[in-house]
Amino acid sequence: MVAQPSQPWFMTVDQWRELERQSHDIKREYINGRVYAMAGGSRAHGRVSSNIVRMLEDALDDSPCNVYNSDVAARLSPTCYLYPDVTVTCDECDQATPDETEIQSPRVVVEVLSEGTEAYSRGEKFALYRACPTVQEYILVSTKYQAVEVFRRILKNWEYQAYGPSDEVELKSIGVYFSVSALYRRTTVPERLDKTEEEKRNK
């Protein structure tokens, strides 16, 4: 799912939680008193997100870590709750239980990019994830072409690494490797931008 950051309204955390419990057709993120509605993504967005969940679950099968999709909110602070496309947590307090809808200690966060929210995911949203001390790696996955970007916390700084269609991604904080091409199984996402699109991006 993708956020619509231009249309907020205001409420307390408890009011937001009650709204989320009662709502069955839409999710809303909570950022410092403001509530933002989430919108559905494209078919490529949905397929890529599903592929990532499946690959991480397979890779972490025998580990204490859990993988969650965008149904589960990640608590970044007492006043910030987001719905990442995919989240990995290795905290035993975040085990799946019937009544809990939030995780407290996200370690790896994945956002699948969409055209309308790419700037938000790279800017304000990344700042929110950086401010959460438990987040160790932030992954951006393109749906325009096959590309993955990993931002990794190194003490007080963040290391950047970009991967293309023939590369293997390493997530150091959870000891997982996977190929970029596997993320795009059963999609028509091209390996690279065509020249026209690349020229537009470089203008």
Residue 11's Cβ-side half-sphere holds a number of Cα atoms within 13 Å equal to: 15
Q: CA-to-CA distance for 109 and 163, rounded, in angstroms? A: 17
Domains, the chain: 41-202 (3.90.1570.10)
Distances (CA, A) of 37 to 26, 88, 157, 158, 191: 7, 23, 31, 29, 32
Amino acid 197: pLDDT: 53
Give this prediction's pTM.
0.90
The tens digit of pLDDT for each residue in 133-171 reads: 999 999 999 999 999 999 999 998 999 999 999 999 999
Mean predicted confidence (pLDDT) in 177-202: 80
pLDDT in tens, 1-28: 444 444 568 899 999 999 999 988 889 9
CB 57 within 8 A of CB 51: no
Strand pairing partners for 152?
137, 159
Do the beta carbons of residue 152 and residue 158 sit within 8 Å? yes
